[in-house]
Structure 1
Amino acid sequence: MLKQHLQFKLSQKLSPQQIQLMKLIQLPTQAFEQRLMQEIEENPALETGKEESDPLNDEFEDNYDQDSDSETINTEDINIDDYLSDDEIPDYRTKANNYSSDDEEKSVPYAAGTSFNQHLLNQLNTVYLNDEEWTIAEFLIGSVDESGYIRRPIADIMDDLAFTQNVYTDEETITRILGIVQELDPPGVGARSLEECLIIQLERKEVTPSIELATAILKRSFEHFTKKHYQKLIQKHNISEDELKEAISEIERLNPKPGGSYSGNNRIIEHVVPDFAIRIVDGELELTLNGRNAPELHVSKEYSNMLKGYKEAKDKSKSQKDTVMFIKQKLDAAKWFIDAIRQRQQTLFITMNAIMHYQSEYFLTGDERNLRPMILKDIADEIGMDVSTVSRVANSKYVDTPYGTKLIKEYFSESMKNEQGEDVSTKEIKKILEMVIQNETKKKPLTDDKLAAILKEKGYPIARRTVAKYREQLNIPVARMRKEI
């Protein structure tokens, strides 16, 4: 049964200009420049550089709102969907499957070069192997992960060779070929465990008493070594503390991830371009916006002249009307983009200026203990903007300070009460925790319980589990793993 009824619904939608502005705000400097160049290429009515004085730029805005004759186009008569279309963009570029029209487009560039596996295969070409041995060696190299390890059991590899390569062999042959793979560079590649990886690297070194002792420790006492049971190692190997120290020094020079030494060369290096600069001038903070974020843009004078020519023409053909529609579309798009750029600059500057003054004590001293607790809402309330806007600025922008270039979001932190009932930043507590651990006696590192007691003495009453959480966030291991001889 069909029913008809009226329903009133209040909804709020973002305009294309608002969406454009939000996307521009979150772009870092280099991505913003690429977006700028793309817009200039796609819109011939948009030009860079200083604009010459041109009264037509003010005049053309009124060319369509005057009813001087019946053939003048009024903006109210234009269908908004047609009006926002771009004749220069192919139709297929405006379509996407299963994605919202305002989803972020993220493209990941790939670095060119020889892959880690190809690097190993190139070395294998210098080794004489028959066809079956080559197939096995190639399969083993294909099983090497980014860290340089083969983490699959030999039995599984033997089964895969039979099913996928039609090679029927035994574990002994695979182990022998694996030994050949483990002779390739970098040393330690093809190992099946950390213990084997380190031993392979030691066996490639020139033999010395320290190397021999280090190898014996890894082969016979690997568990004691990883748990830093130094006294047990001294007793088991009948050595002095100095001999143990030299052997451990040799082990610490080894690379636990041999694959990383090669694959790291092919990683994409991200060059950070600061969006802001903070300087101290005569004891006062001075904020500047990177000039690359403030390009000089203006509307094309030629396009404005075209509109004037159309207005003054007595005979207006249909083709002329179509042309002027295209011109007006491009001019308005250019004006929208210029306005969005100005709003972007203003939003960035206002947001960073509020952050700078909120954290003025830190920026004047550089001492992280002076960082005030600050969340996104604090800045959003101060500048009268939405939290999401502040987040877009903080998550993607860098600021150059006298103490280094940092991501803005690093200055945000939660608060915690000290013994005086004052709000202090969790970053301040982490900094003090880090300093306490740096100054501890490494022969007897402080446990989390003792760290919590020390922080309490300093006026920061936090629980042991909170100390453990902060320590892990600082990438500091537990007390046992910080022990040194």
Structure 2
Amino acid sequence: MLKQHLQFKLSQKLSPQQIQLMKLIQLPTQAFEQRLKQELEENPALESGKEELENIDEFEDDYEVNDNETIEAEDINVDDYLSDDEIPDYRTQANNYSSDDEEKSVPYAAGTSFNQYLLNQMNTVYLNDEEWAIAEFLIGSIDESGYIRRPISDILDDLAFTQNIYTEEKTIARVLSIVQELDPPGVGARSLEESLMIQLKRKELTPSIELAIEILKKSFDQFSKKHYQKLIQKHNIDEEELKAAISEIEKLNPKPGGSYSGNNRIVEHVVPDFSIRIVDGELELSLNGRNAPELHVSREYNNMLKGYKESQEKSKAQKDTVMFIKQKLDAAKWFIDAIRQRQQTLFVTMNAIMQYQKEYFLSGDERNLRPMILKDIADEIKMDVSTVSRVANSKYVDTPYGTKLIKEYFSESMKNEQGEDVSTKEIKKILETVIKNEVKRKPLTDDKLAAILKEKGYPIARRTVAKYREQLGIPVARLRKEI
């Protein structure tokens, strides 16, 4: 049985313009400039830079059309897009940002790749065609750290299947030994142990280096776990001899490829979106001028509308043209408004963060960072948490203490013995300082670290200490041990 009934339902939908605005807010400065360039290329009704203000007509966006509604050229009131005002209102609003605030040119690095650098060295070695093809394949298998992380048996199969080269493992091993003679020392190794051994054998042999080679060859596992007493007993040496051998090993490069590829890698330039300065004891916030471009609506497009209005006979081509113009003018007007909204949202959000962490920004002491979550700032500026998240996760701020990602200023809270909320960043800073000042012969265990923090007024469990230590990238006590 069929029934008809009415149902009223409230639903919330984001318009395409709102979605685009959220995407604009999320973009950092360099990505925003690319988006701006794209919009200028796609919309001829939008122009950048300053324009003379004489006799420029402005349009008002009073005509809205639903997505599913079809309009005809006759339905468009051209007067809605034209006015008698000589100066449009969006030109009377100052943003106080100069386009000259930041240098817009970005240097680009160029050079020889790491693998090509190795191949160039191979040109000085005599190899037959098969050996050269194997060497080229081996060098192509070296990663940025300088290692070949594959067994020879797998390389043998790959040479047969992909290069149509049928050879033997001993031939590959012989060519690999030639590759391992290239610079930087240690390149082409299949493990850390092998890389360190190659580097040591390049040095002039001394008693300390000979002992270091013996330790790596016979006791690499004990060495990596810092079982120093076992090493002393096994190699029948005293503590000073062991210390000298370890000192030689510590001079080696565990990532030999990094010494070249790291210098040649194109660095991604971080452009701060905000700048905080201390002026006469007060904080001063500014938005990067590259986030405040000067845009205006094309004069030619306004003139086209005027021409259509004054035309006595309106042909089909003219009607199609006015429809196109209307669409582009709407898009240009919205984009100008969206950029202005983006500027305001960024500034208001960062200003709230700056005021919330005022004590930190004045002192630079991370112990003065207050516990702060996204909701704290969202409630402060009366915006959604997702908006604050978009600003915090992708924007950088230039401060007197360095350029940092804004989300680094957010942290959870924890109560101290006085019942006050303190930032977890404050606890991590104290933990880092305690570990830095520990006696390295007897590094502090997580239990002892928890006891020390408790004495300082931060009662946290051992597992929490372990979690914070790992977040700081600090190894366990056994691996921090020195002799």
Same fold (TM over 0.5): yes
CA drift of 1:118 comes to: 3.7
Q: Report how many residues are paired.
A: 447
**Number of the residue aligned with 1:73:** 75
* Residues 299 and 331, structure 1, Cα contact 8 Å, conserved in 2: yes
Q: 1:13 to 1:214 in 2, by over 3 A?
A: same
Q: Letter of the aligned partner of 2:196 in structure 1?
A: L
Q: 2:241 aligns with which of 243, 248, 251?
A: 243
CA distance in 2, matches of 1:364, 1:62: 47
CA distance in 2, matches of 1:221, 1:61: 78
List runs of 5+ in structure 2 lacking aligned partners. Answer: 66-71, 79-107
Query: SS of the residue aligned with 1:173?
Result: helix
Q: 1:224 to 1:13 in 2, by over 3 A?
A: same
Query: SS of the residue aligned with 2:130?
Result: helix
CA drift of 1:193 comes to: 1.7
Moved more, 169-178 or 179-188: 169-178
* Residues 61 and 330, structure 2, Cα contact 8 Å, conserved in 1: no
CA distance in 1, matches of 2:160, 2:324: 65
Q: Letter of the aligned partner of 1:260 in structure 2?
A: G
List runs of 5+ in structure 1 lacking aligned partners. Answer: 77-109
CA distance in 2, matches of 1:195, 1:64: 70
**Number of the residue aligned with 1:123:** 121
Q: 1:75 to 1:3 in 2, by over 3 A?
A: farther
What aligned pairs does 1:174-189 form with structure 2 within 5 A after superposition?
174-189=172-187
Q: TM-score, normalised by structure 1?
A: 0.84
Q: 2:400 aligns with which of 399, 402, 406?
A: 402
**Number of the residue aligned with 1:24:** 24
**Number of the residue aligned with 1:38:** 38
CA distance in 1, matches of 2:194, 2:270: 39
* Residues 28 and 275, structure 1, Cα contact 8 Å, conserved in 2: yes
What aligned pairs does 1:170-209 form with structure 2 within 5 A after superposition?
170-209=168-207
Moved more, 323-332 or 418-427: 323-332
CA distance in 1, matches of 2:158, 2:53: 75
**Superposed CA offset, 1:209-231 (max 9, x none):** 33222222212322222122233
CA drift of 1:283 comes to: 1.7
What aligned pairs does 1:326-405 form with structure 2 within 5 A after superposition?
326-405=324-403
* Residues 60 and 304, structure 1, Cα contact 8 Å, conserved in 2: no
Moved more, 161-170 or 471-480: 161-170
Q: 1:334 to 1:408 in 2, by over 3 A?
A: same
CA distance in 2, matches of 1:35, 1:163: 45
Q: 1:323 to 1:447 in 2, by over 3 A?
A: same
2:136 is the alignment partner of 1:138:
yes
* Residues 368 and 428, structure 1, Cα contact 8 Å, conserved in 2: yes
Q: Letter of the aligned partner of 1:368 in structure 2?
A: E
Q: 1:125 to 1:382 in 2, by over 3 A?
A: same
**Superposed CA offset, 1:68-122 (max 9, x none):** xx9743279xxxxxxxxxxxxxxxxxxxxxxxxxxxxxxxxx9875443343333
Q: Letter of the aligned partner of 1:385 in structure 2?
A: M
2:466 is the alignment partner of 1:468:
yes
What aligned pairs does 1:71-470 form with structure 2 within 5 A after superposition?
72-74=74-76, 114-162=112-160, 164-165=162-163, 167-470=165-468
**Superposed CA offset, 1:174-207 (max 9, x none):** 3222211211222112222211110101111222
**Number of the residue aligned with 1:102:** none
RMSD (CA atoms): 2.8
Q: 1:276 to 1:160 in 2, by over 3 A?
A: closer
* Residues 224 and 230, structure 1, Cα contact 8 Å, conserved in 2: yes
**Number of the residue aligned with 2:476:** 478
CA distance in 1, matches of 2:254, 2:282: 48
CA distance in 1, matches of 2:143, 2:2: 63
* Residues 400 and 406, structure 1, Cα contact 8 Å, conserved in 2: yes
Q: 1:307 to 1:228 in 2, by over 3 A?
A: same
CA distance in 1, matches of 2:55, 2:270: 41
**Number of the residue aligned with 2:102:** none
Give identity over the alignment, percent: 83
* Residues 58 and 302, structure 2, Cα contact 8 Å, conserved in 1: no
* Residues 301 and 325, structure 2, Cα contact 8 Å, conserved in 1: yes
Q: 1:446 to 1:235 in 2, by over 3 A?
A: same
CA drift of 1:250 comes to: 1.8
* Residues 64 and 73, structure 1, Cα contact 8 Å, conserved in 2: no
CA distance in 2, matches of 1:361, 1:232: 51
CA drift of 1:440 comes to: 0.9
CA drift of 1:401 comes to: 0.8
CA distance in 1, matches of 2:130, 2:75: 78
Q: 1:63 to 1:354 in 2, by over 3 A?
A: closer
CA distance in 2, matches of 1:141, 1:59: 63
Q: 1:63 to 1:418 in 2, by over 3 A?
A: closer
Q: Letter of the aligned partner of 1:483 in structure 2?
A: K
Query: SS of the residue aligned with 2:418?
Result: coil
CA drift of 1:49 comes to: 2.6
Query: SS of the residue aligned with 2:148?
Result: coil
CA distance in 2, matches of 1:12, 1:64: 19
**Superposed CA offset, 1:308-352 (max 9, x none):** 232223222222222222222221111100000000000001100
Q: Letter of the aligned partner of 2:278 in structure 1?
A: I
Q: 1:177 to 1:48 in 2, by over 3 A?
A: closer
